[in-house]
Structure 1
């Protein structure tokens, strides 16, 4: 079950992929972590999928990550008379806080936090930016706006406010109930939607603790203004290009993606690039050339993982989409320019013993042409520090923690295996060599690089490096 690539694949589960048979087919095609989207489906639906994934894990003997994606606060217009209205550029319309069926003079917008935060000159984007209006005046319960880009406003369409910082918790009542349910199930990651500021992460961490890894979804321009602190407070980051691309100019998204991937690599945090990567495969068996190039770009950027959304959740070709993503990643990573391109964006080594040891291990393994680096890791940090270097050598991550082995399914280059704790240096060396053979990373007489922290089983103590010859 070894993957012959470094970047990981995250696939969203939905009606097209929620059966045990399809989940197995997707895993065999290349999925490393499954995403449960709590914007859709019932708790019962998600519990069945979770149980099927854990059964598949037992059947295959390989750890599988599960990511719970919370819906977050969705801002929508209310109900409109006759279901929709068409507005034209230049005309003035009015939004009201309360109201039944609205018209262009009283479009319901039942979100008091908007009325408290918006100011003249701010834009409101409706239906993923298809309609854009600019605030010209407001009161405590109304907003007057001039239409900049006309179009149709229909019932319950989403509203984005790119220039407005809303005093809004990222965790709604629904999210809190979903989170409690997900943690009870035992999800490995929780993705927080519409993060705006560092305190959003602190609020979520207070509820999650260490029971799951916390993923910050970057889809608001306000988050970009506080990105260093948000990354610091997260365990991983998702570049959610869908909503982000609505709220910032389209032409800025590629550059922001590169900045975010680099910042996460510098901070030793896994980063997922998501949204519309192979979108045409929702309805077609092959992607466009531009989509293939988009996936490859994320790999050249050094992303830890790339994600499928509707392609695997509701598309007609979920298995083919995973297979295509796997092929694109492998082809990209095998290209003669891949390592030189990734090396250009390599962050400087931090001046601490753990980072220096991990970086030295990566360089040493490449220099002596080892088939693998074996990382003993109790928290995943040792493996992450090595992965930060993006070595041209796979990382065999040995951990005694089932939870950590599943989280490593999101980390670039890491093939995680469960093993009992080691207690002596000799035991560590023997187990490293044996595991490298069993997992088919090394043959007898091969040299491998082994990295660990001593004393054993203490998180964050990467301080030991050794070259070991695999026995006959």
Structure 2
């Protein structure tokens, strides 16, 4: 199953897309990997969804990535005596550690870490920013605020803290239990870590995961932007989670931040996913708005590795149509005359490593010779990542003996992953590359391919060889 596009599509599973038949339809429509939202999925449901995805993978014969998205800390106020109260801008309102039902003057905040950390001058946004408060006094037990904007607050509404760095980690007890359950399946490829604020937030999850899954940091807090280079360095991938980011920061800043994060990840060679509300209207409509089409196209023009569907595929009325539309937009953008020059202008300077030098040379030679494909042998995935970082204008076939590597690379721009045995010698390496290029429909007899690999063969992290080969007349051998 060949995709005629470079950007990947991440589709969230949910009530509208949890049975195997629908998962298969979504995959056939263009979904390259699937997201399981642990905010809504029980452990049993998570295991069932993974089994169904793997069944679809077996039928399709193509590696499919699985991302399990941890809920992260959900900060909420307590309840009110009358469910909801009316407030007025300028009045005083207090959040405290008193468990009694709230009223027009105060409400219980069951998060001591907030009470102890917020300081005078900090903003508190309630209910996705519908109510804006500003702290004028904080003593560790209560936060006295002025109402800046908004007119009401009701039971269990969420709290956002755009000016406050919480001292506690981002993993909650629920997240730890969910992470253990995901790792126990030994069949997930990525964990998404919500509400990352600082590089230290990645330490605990790395210790627990021990390399068994890739860690994708969700950037949805303004505090994360202050140390974003360190966060990117410690992450295996990054998600631009525009929903909460647009609540905690002025919404007009989000497009610029999206571009900055995409380019920073491309420089670092880390996959970047753009997410949230990309085709939001398709939850209830069979076609998107023109603005949504433009939104998706901007992410593709910027060279994002993947674009994500949330409710559109999880609970919407048109999940298959949403995936098909996203794939169609991506294909059209990548065929645009301006696309190559935009992608080229953002290419990063290669690092001073053998893998980067080989990947750069592979791209330059492939483009100069108009090769049918770049074929890279990758065991750990590092070589595949470096080849993807170059954003060549020819297809990249990533051949790996490790199914877990192939699945994890499903999120990477331009990589068509194939699971195959390691080559036994140089002749087998060339012949195998030629044969797979033909069978995967990327080339034909007489075409040239560029092959990168490591010698000794099968040694992880040793990419040091580049070869130009012709596909033989029988389509089975190279020369």
TM-score by length of 2: 0.97
Q: What's the RMSD between the two structures over aligned residues?
A: 0.9
**Is the contact made by 1:9 and 1:30 (CA closer than 8 Å) also made in structure 2?**
yes
- The secondary structure found in structure 2 opposite 1:464 is strand
Please report how far the alpha carbon of residue 41 of structure 1 lies from its aligned counterpart in structure 2 after TM superposition.
Answer: 2.3
Residue 456 of structure 1 is matched in structure 2 by: 457
2:476 maps to which residue? none
Match of residue 402 from structure 2: 401
| Residue equivalent to 1:59 | 59
The answer on whether the counterparts of 1:86 and 1:150 sit within 8 Å (CA) in structure 2 is: no
Q: Residues 299 and 329 of structure 1 are in contact (CA less than 8 Å); yes or no, is this contact kept in structure 2?
A: yes
Map 1:159-238 to 2 at 5 A: 159-185=159-185, 186-238=187-239
Structure 2 matches for 1:63-462, cutoff 5 A?
63-185=63-185, 186-462=187-463
Shift of 1:381: 1.3
Q: For residues 442 and 342 of structure 1, what CA distance do their matches in structure 2 show?
A: 24
Q: Runs of 5+ in structure 2 lacking a partner?
A: 474-479
Deviations 1:155-183 (A, max 9, x none): 11110000001012111111111001111
Q: Distance in 2 between matches of 1:456 and 1:266?
A: 28
SS of equivalent residue, structure 1 residue 164: coil
Inter-partner Cα distance in structure 1 for 2:467 and 2:365: 10
How many Å separate the matches in 1 of 2:42 and 2:104?
35
Separation of aligned partners in 2, 1:351 and 1:433: 30
For 2:154 and 2:458, locate their aligned partners in 1 and report how far apart those are by CA, in whole Å. Answer: 57
Q: Deviations over 1:339-367 (max 9, x none)?
A: 10111111112222221110110111111
- Greater Cα offset, 303-312 or 354-363: 354-363
Count of matched residue positions in the alignment of Structure 1 and Structure 2? 472
User: What is the Cα deviation at residue 104 of structure 1?
Assistant: 2.4
What is the DSSP-based 3-state SS (H/G/I as helix, E as strand, rest coil) of the residue aligned with 2:200? helix
- Greater CA deviation, 399-408 or 96-105? 96-105
Offset at 1:118?
A: 0.5
Structure 1 residue aligned with 2:20: 20
Higher deviation after alignment, 110-119 or 93-102: 93-102
Tell me how far 1:317 sits from its aligned partner.
0.6
**TM-score (structure 1 length as normaliser):** 0.99
Distance in 2 between residues matched to 1:140 and 1:449, nearest whole Å: 63
- 1:100 offset after TM fit, Å? 2.5
Distance 1:243 1:455 in 2: 47
List per-residue Cα deviations over 1:390-433 (Å, max 9, x = no partner). Answer: 11111000000000010111000000000011131111111111
Q: Secondary structure at the match of 1:449?
A: strand
